[in-house]
Structure 1
């Protein structure tokens, strides 16, 4: 009977960390999924305007021009030639392809005009400019 009492009050030499590791792995996976899901393109500072209209449509393609003049189609870096090829592919799949141009307020206007010119050559008529609503 003395042996039973000693067995119940025995100190543990180690701690079972398996449940804690399981929780850590689940939290890591959730963090990775949420982080990659929140990336929606290239961040730019939009110009401010008072007249805005919501141009969100399904299958809208975004052309982004950053401050340093880099161009992106959706979130992929492109040159003017590859931009035209990519838009031509999308236009072949969807004849009424909507496109928005998202240019940084400090971007080179020449690059934005080049993107507009490509849209005109490909007969893309639904083109919008992304701006920030004035307060």
Structure 2
């Protein structure tokens, strides 16, 4: 318990118990911790420092699942794991574009085997474009997983 001086008339100072708790050191420590966390938290969230531009664009709608279009090693096209005959591909992609109310169609993830001819992948991309599906993303494997 802390002792504080009490001065009497003509007396020497004597120590008596003080009934207050000094919280100033605790507040100082808490402010230092707050500053440390405020500085380090943004550094933990991103690995690469990038100065992003501002935009008036609205956030993307992430509720809708993308449609996966895959082309295997033999050149067979699959739409969401269902095989599609080359003659039916245009009609199937047209159905997908017609059923979507999003501008540019739904998101399409195009996955193609690395051993495929570049021309075969471009044929599928041409069919996607002809059907009006403009939101196509090419899927790859990150470099660490490829090894």
Greater Cα radius of gyration, structure 1 or 2: 2
Q: CA RMSD in A?
A: 1.7
TM-score by length of 1: 0.53
- Compared CA separation, residues 57 and 115, structure 1 to 2 (3 A): farther
Does residue 76 of structure 1 match 2:85? Answer: no
Q: After TM superposition, list the pairs within 5 Å mapping 1:34-53 onto structure 2.
A: none
Q: Which runs of at least 4 in structure 1 moved beyond 4 Å after TM superposition? A: none
Distance in 1 (CA, whole Å) between partners of 2:84 and 2:99 is: 20
| More contact order relative to length (CA 8 Å, sep ≥ 6) | 1
Distance in 1 (CA, whole Å) between partners of 2:116 and 2:67 is: 19
Gaps (5+ residues) in structure 2?
A: 1-61
More helix per residue: 1
C-alpha offsets along residues 7-42 of structure 1, whole Å, 9 cap, x if unaligned?
xxxxxxxxxxxxxxxxxxxxxxxxxxxxxxxxxxxx
- Compared CA separation, residues 65 and 59, structure 1 to 2 (3 A): same
**Hey, what does 2:115 align to over in structure 1?**
106
Give the Å deviation of 1:57: 6.4
Q: How many residues align?
A: 80
Distance in 2 (CA, whole Å) between partners of 1:134 and 1:67 is: 20
Candidates 103, 127, 134, aligned match of 2:136: 127
